[in-house]
Each structure stands twice: as structure tokens, then as C-alpha cells.
Amino acid sequence: MARFRILAVFLFSLFACVNNTKVTAQKLFTEGFITYKIVMDPPANQEGLVQYSGTYTITLKGNKVKKELKLENGFQTTLVINYDAKTAFSLKHIADKDVAIEMDMDKLMQRGKKYEGFVLKTKNNATQNIASVKAEEGTIIYSDKSSVDIFFTKDWTLATTIFERFPNMRELPVKFTNANDDGLTIHFSLQSIEARPVENASFTIPAHAKVISSKEYEQLKGE
């Protein structure tokens, strides 16, 4: 059970906040796919838990966003957000059932508030070539003086916030590590970026999935 609780915390921190930023740039990324390789290190005090690895794919099309986590152990989950319709659904497979959990949009948006107002400082022009993009090394400093090291690229400019810890960040995050309060550490490294048309069908809820509320989901987990 501890293993799944840690996964749940990780997923919520990943999926919780995506909001829109109006920008103008030559290579504005508004439609396509961004995929990261991820490695999840369990808390040091959690015996019996193992390291997880997989991919985290973000699909964008205007005000529609889909986030898909796939781990090598077969676990997967998806979040679909439609800002025009002001809806968010978490797609999961539970007890041999495919469900679409309707999320509270206000709560999703609020989670990123504490990260707003950060400053991104470049480190001595240090760069790496990662996934065919030029990545600059920098540090993000938050209003509470906490910080995180990051590689980012200016090759692409984001029109949409894709990580709750980097609200309104226009540069594309390329390589970074999230350290959660519970000791879980998640490493991200850009694997690929594809700017190309995306079908609207990519953001629809599967017809066979049962739509349930967050409260119903909690009850289903307890069965």
C-alpha cells in the first residue's frame, strides 16, 4: 500500500497544474508532443520500495492538454484537461474497470500558486546538448528562497505551463529533479519534442470509460 500511496502523491504533483501563458516567439510550441524519460527514487526510509522508470508524455493542442505517465512495470495513468470547456479528467484502470475521474479544476489550479514569482538564473553560460536541443544550465529560485537546478532551452517557447513547479515558464524545461516533501525524488530528462498536428480525438474520454467523481473514486479505492 505504501508503494501506491507514493505513486499517488507523485502523480498528483505531476498532473495538478497546467495553465495558459500568452507569449510571442518565433518557435512557439502550441501543438505536438513533449516526452521525458523519468526515474523515480523512493524515500530512503521506505524499505521494500524500488526505483521506478518510464516516460512522461505531454500532448498539447491549443487549450487542450494531455499528460500520460507510463512506467516500465506496466503502470500507467493519464490526465486530460480542456481549458475551453473547463474540465479535467484523470483516466485510470481500477479493479478491471476503466474510469474517468472528474477533477476539481479550482483545486488543480491552486496547487501551483505557491511556486509563482520564481526567478530563473543562468549558470555561467554552461550548456549541454540533450534530445537535439541546446540546453542551458540554470537555477530556479522561489520566493521562499528554496531553489532547484535545471537545464532549459530557448529553442522552443511554451504557450502553456506544463509543470506546476514552473508556472508561466516560457523556456522549455529539459532536465531537472523534483524532490517531494515525503522524500520521493523524480528525475526528468527530455527524450523528444515533436511540433506537429494533433487530432482532437486525442483529448476525448474513451466511450467505454465510466465517468465518476473524485469522491466516488475514493470509495472505489477502498473496496
The pLDDT of residue 7 is 52
H-type helices in the chain, by residue range?
2-15, 105-110, 214-221
State the total domains in the chain: 1
What cell was used for 25?
Answer: 516567439
pTM for the structure as a whole: 0.83
Rounded mean pLDDT of the chain?
85
Is the distance from CB of 167 to CB of 19 less than 8 angstroms?
A: yes
**Cα–chain center distance at 42:** 18
CATH of the domain at 120: 2.50.20.10
DSSP 205: P
**pLDDT score of 195:** 95
The residue that leads in pLDDT, 96 or 103, is 103
Return all residues near 186 (Cβ < 8 A) that are at least 6 apart.
10, 14, 38, 39, 40, 41, 177, 178, 180
* Domain extent at residue 163: 2-221
Q: Residues 154, 128: contact at Cβ < 8 Å?
A: no
